[in-house]
Amino acid sequence: MSAKQGQRIALFGGTFDPIHNGHIVLARELAARLALDRVLIMPTFVPPHKIKTEMASAVDRLEMCRFACAPYPELMVSDLEINRRGASFTVLTLEQLHRSYPDAELFLFVGADMFLTLASWYRFADIAKLATLCAVPRDDVSAADLRAYAATLEAQGARCVIESMETPRISSTEIRAKARAGESLDGLVPAEVAAYIAAHQVYAERREYRDIEEQYCDILRGRLTPKRYRHSLAVAEQAEHLARKYGVDPQKARTAGLLHDILKDTDGDSQLQIFKDFGILLDAVEQQAPKLWHAHAGAVFLEHILGITDPDILLPIRYHTTGRAGMSGLEVVLYLADFTSADRDYPDVDVMRELTERNVDEAMRYALKYTIDDLNERGMPVHPDTLACYKEYCERDGGAHG
Ligand code: DGI
Ligand code: FE
Ligand code: FE
């Protein structure tokens, strides 16, 4: 992206599934009225488990935007959010734009219904500092409604612009239905977009959708080295196997195994940025041990960026490196799967595998002792969670033997 300093740049985000003439008219009209140099049309990433079957792929949504915007120099398509492969909070996207264009004045277009919820958006105060907020009234949300709400936002320091204008009433839902039925999309989308939809059968009825796991794999391939990717697949297999054996949910174990090292190959600064973005403070040992970050940052990333909400999946990932006192069955399964997956080849991996098959408590004691001894030898700090976990399993042993 290239933009001169001091430019006026607007962010126009949405699923754009597909982009249509209403979006184009709106973006161009706002660009004219607000004297904008550029409007960034930014299709949002949709996490795998939230994709509805009739949705177009991210690639198709992006391509359709590119075709639609090509004739207009003031419109520019941005793949920033889709390339991040994670749902983006508006504030994080604005911060990134601010870093890219430090002297630009930023504007944020928000749909009329969403505008009325702005005060509750993540880090709204920072959004308000970064951009002027713009909305356009519609049939169901009047200019008066928007202005009244804007006044409450302005009282919190926001700058707002409410612009009334005539734009074609077009719905993406209706376009998808027509496309599926093979009806003409004339007047609804630019001709190039209609041609793309037809040529690629973007909304065809019999479109096959890949399952969620395959889409997670896509995301992992984009973030991990080939070796670490293979490790993740192996841990998923082993976690599923152990889950069946020890009576916990095999599907959840598999998902946790697949995703447990998602940030292992992400650089330290980016991991620290994730902690910062979500207000997480590292404890003393974590601060000294970057190797521990990927588990904690990974869980935060999966929760906030990929939108995974199930604690049964998040907690095993959060604690897969240190363990902790009071681990759930799924946490133990992932912890042991990481030690015993098919790709592991440390000296006593066979002992570890044998114990894991035979007795979970003994396996945990062995793995934790191995880790603690190894860290001690290398003069590295052992995390209190690791020690508390080890202590718990040692006490359990005491109980078993009277
Ligand atoms: O990510 P993996 O390599 O698959 O495995 P992991 O998540 O168990 O990471 C192991 C690394 O984390 C290894 O380099 C040792 C380190 N580690 C594990 N527990 C502790 C620890 N480092 C410190 N400083 N303290 C710990 O308690
Ligand atoms: Fe790990
Ligand atoms: Fe691992």
DSSP per-residue string spanning 166-230: ------HHHHHHHHHTT---TTTS-HHHHHHHHHHTTT-TT-----HHHHHHHHHHHHS-HHHHH
Measure the CA–CA gap between 357 and 245, rounded to whole angstroms.
Answer: 8
| CA proximity to 82, closest of 178, 190, 188, 218 | 218
Measure the CA–CA gap between 19 and 32, rounded to whole angstroms.
Answer: 20
For residue 283, pLDDT over 80 is answered with: yes
| CA proximity to 200, closest of 57, 69, 47, 14 | 57
Determine how many CB atoms are found less than 10 A away from the CB of residue 121.
Answer: 16
Ligand 3 (ion): residues with CB under 5 Å are 261, 338
Q: How far is the CA of 363 from the centre of ligand 2 (A)?
A: 18
Helix axes 311-318, 250-259, angle to 10 degrees: 40
Q: Which fold has domain 8-200?
A: Rossmann fold (3.40.50)
Confidence class of residue 199 from pLDDT cuts 50, 70 and 90?
confident
- Correct CATH for 209-394 of 3.40.50.2000, 1.10.3210.10, 3.20.20.210, 2.60.120.260: 1.10.3210.10
Domain edges within the chain:
8-200, 209-394
pLDDT, tens digit (0-9, with 9 covering 90-100), for 356-389: 999 999 999 999 999 999 999 999 999 999 999 9
Q: How far is the CA of 322 from the centre of ligand 3 (A)?
A: 12
- The pTM of the whole model exceeds 0.85: no
pLDDT, tens digit (0-9, with 9 covering 90-100), for 94-133: 999 999 999 999 999 999 999 999 999 999 999 999 999 9
For residue 402, pLDDT over 50 is answered with: no
Task: Assess whether the C-beta atom of 261 lies below 6 angstroms from ligand 1.
Answer: yes
Distances from the Cα of 51 to the Cαs of 155, 223, 284, 388, in angstroms? 37, 21, 40, 40
**Residues sharing a CB contact under 8 Å with residue 210, sequence separation 6 or more, in sequence order:** none
